[in-house]
Amino acid sequence: MKFQDYLKTEEPLYIDRPVKLSEPELKTYKKMERDAVLEFDDDYISALTAAEVTNKLLQLANGAIYDQDKNYRVIHNKKLEALEELIEEAGEEPVLVYYSYISDKERIQQRFKNARILDTEKDIKDWNAGKIKLMIAHPASAGHGLNLQDGGSIIVWFGLPWSLELYLQANARLWRQGQKQTVRIYHLLSEGTVDSRVLQVLRGKNIRQEELIASLKAAYKEVV
């Protein structure tokens, strides 16, 4: 059983924070999105193909994209700016940020010198003791059984995962038994990108990756 099934717990607040790209930045995204989708000429969109394209689009939405040599190029910094605003709004409250890619982690570290990576037992202890104001973690590293509820109540998703399980488990690090505050879960969503479609999936809409990419591909073929 989940603790939510038999304990009275206040539901988290889910807050979508739109991130507006400049016209040139959005134009760059749209071109790269179109190229990524249309490079697959076959009519059948496999799960593997869909995952690959979705990853490219999510990287772009977050602000950077990897090349074939596993180096990344920065496209925009709008999510970093939005994150900075949220941290300022939080004041003295600690903030837990979930990132998706190494490029996200490195760019966050460069922007926020006080950011601490969730890595060791000491990080967990210091967070719960209120010694860390900004902690960043990959959702896969914040899995089952990790207790972070004593250290804060604010989660920011810098980039969304495709996996519903990862999303729910990462949120449950703060929204769990012992949490005394209302948990606020922010989603940074780059407007005009795949972010909003992936959030639909996480919210229970029955859209598979294959269907997502197929719909994008069909839309672009209409204007080719």
pLDDT in tens, 10-66: 789 999 999 999 999 999 988 888 887 776 656 556 656 667 778 888 999 999 988
Domain count, the chain: 1
Residue 88 clears pLDDT 90, i.e. is over it = yes
Q: CATH number for the domain including 172?
A: 3.40.50.300
How many other C-beta atoms lie within 10 A of the C-beta of residue 119? 11
Mean pLDDT of 126-141: 94
Of the pLDDT bands very low, low, confident and very high (cuts 50, 70, 90), residue 190 is very high
Q: For 139, list phi and psi in degrees, rounded to 5.
A: -60, -30
**Residue closest to 39 by CA, chosen among 60, 61, 27, 56:** 56
**3 part of a folded domain:** no
**2 part of a folded domain:** no
How distant, in Å, are the alpha carbons of 43, 57, 99, 149 from that of 50?
12, 11, 21, 35
Boundaries of domain holding 199: 8-221
Residue 83 tokens, joined: 């994150």
Q: What pTM was computed for the model?
A: 0.86
Mean pLDDT of 209-213: 67
How distant, in Å, are the alpha carbons of 4, 91, 204 from that of 1?
8, 36, 21
Q: What gap in Å lies between CA 157 and CA 167, rounded to an integer?
A: 9
How distant, in Å, are the alpha carbons of 106, 124, 135, 221 from that of 109?
5, 18, 10, 39
**50 part of a folded domain:** yes
B/e letters for 65-102, b = 16+ CB within 10 Å, e = fewer, are beeeeeebeebbebbbebbeebbeebeeebbbbbbbbe
Q: HSE, CB side, 13 Å, CA atoms: give it for residue 153.
A: 15
Share of the chain above pLDDT 90, in %: 51
Between helix 47-62 and helix 23-38 the angle, nearest 10°, is: 170
| Cα 102 off chain centre by | 12
Encode pLDDT of 135-155 as tens digits. Answer: 999 999 876 668 888 889 999
How distant, in Å, are the alpha carbons of 19, 52, 211 from that of 95?
19, 30, 35
At position 186, the amino acid (one-letter code) is Y
Q: What gap in Å lies between CA 196 and CA 205, rounded to an integer?
A: 12
Q: For 70, list phi and psi in degrees, rounded to 5.
A: 65, 25
**1 part of a folded domain:** no
Residues forming a β-bridge with 95 = 134
